[in-house]
Amino acid sequence: MAKANKRLLVVDDDEQIRELLAFDIAQSGYIVDSAQDGEAGLKKALENNYDLILLDVMMPKMNGYDVCRNIRLVKPNIPVLMLTAKGTINDKTEGFDCGADDYLVKPFDIQEVLLHIRALLRRSESSSDDKDSKEVLRAGDIEILPDSLEAVIQGKKTKLTPTEFEILYCLMQHLNSPVTLATLLDEVWGYGSDEDVRMVRVHVGSLRQKIEEDTRKPKYLHTVTNVGYKLTPFGSLEEA
């Protein structure tokens, strides 16, 4: 799909930010809709087909976290980029836990926004191609189901966010071998940044909670100190 056909939704209660974002993104060749609060944004998201949603957190009627959760219940595969002044690690964790794929802290430069948009759209297209090419990817105790964004660990099924799915998919391409943080940023997000290393760690922590019985003694998803992470599909206890 060409850029000119990509349809994005901007949801922000700050009129100036909303209109500037909509204008600059449209100038870059995208089709842009907008909404002024959480309820209006959720209504548009559910009633229309969007390729990506940009979502503020602190909004009247419904906050961005709740909007994202409700979108994920119906349309689990739409990329969601959080745009907010709430930039602590706890805020980011809550955003990722509700299903956001990426996070930008205000104030931001429009070129940075466009970079994240392009990366998320590339990842979304790549994920669609993977779904067309394979139904299930299996290794040892782990299998992933692209159509439903689920992982199965020893027969136990768990729902993943799109980003958690992409991280697990990336790690499964490098079984039993350390994968650097830079590689994850490049293969999952499509760009690299020292600042975004924290984002990777938050997503991996969330993924670990879903696939491990005891996150303090992980069997599958291991931290490799000063390098990144390693996936052992048959399970083995190592230093986390």
Q: For 102-122, what is each residue's pLDDT tens digit?
A: 888 888 889 889 988 988 888
Task: At 179, list the tokens.
Answer: 């994968």
H-type alpha helices, 98-213:
110-133, 162-172, 181-184, 197-211
> The whole model's pTM is what?
0.68
Q: Taking all residues of the chain, what is their mean pLDDT, rounded to a whole number?
A: 84
pLDDT interval class at 238 (50, 70, 90): low
Give residue 240's pLDDT.
Answer: 43
Same domain, 28 and 99: yes
pLDDT interval class at 65 (50, 70, 90): very high
Give residue 149's pLDDT.
Answer: 78
Give residue 197's pLDDT.
Answer: 79
Cβ atoms of 86 and 58 within 8 Å: the answer is yes
Same domain, 120 and 139: no
Instruction: Tell me which of 79, 111, 128 is where a domain ends.
Output: 128
**Whether pLDDT at 1 is above 50:** no
CATH of the domain at 93: 3.40.50.2300
Give the model confidence (pLDDT) of 140-152 as tens digits.
Answer: 888 888 777 788 8
Of residues 202 and 29, more confidence is placed in 29
239 located within any domain: no
Cα(205)–Cα(225) distance, rounded to whole angstroms?
A: 15
Give residue 109's pLDDT.
Answer: 87
Q: Which residue has the tokens 């299930």?
A: 136
Cβ atoms of 143 and 136 within 8 Å: the answer is yes
**Whether pLDDT at 237 is above 70:** no
CATH of the domain at 214: 1.10.10.10
Cα(26)–Cα(19) distance, rounded to whole angstroms?
A: 10
**Whether pLDDT at 181 is above 50:** yes
Same domain, 46 and 119: yes
Give the model confidence (pLDDT) of 23-58 as tens digits.
Answer: 999 999 999 999 999 999 999 999 999 999 999 999
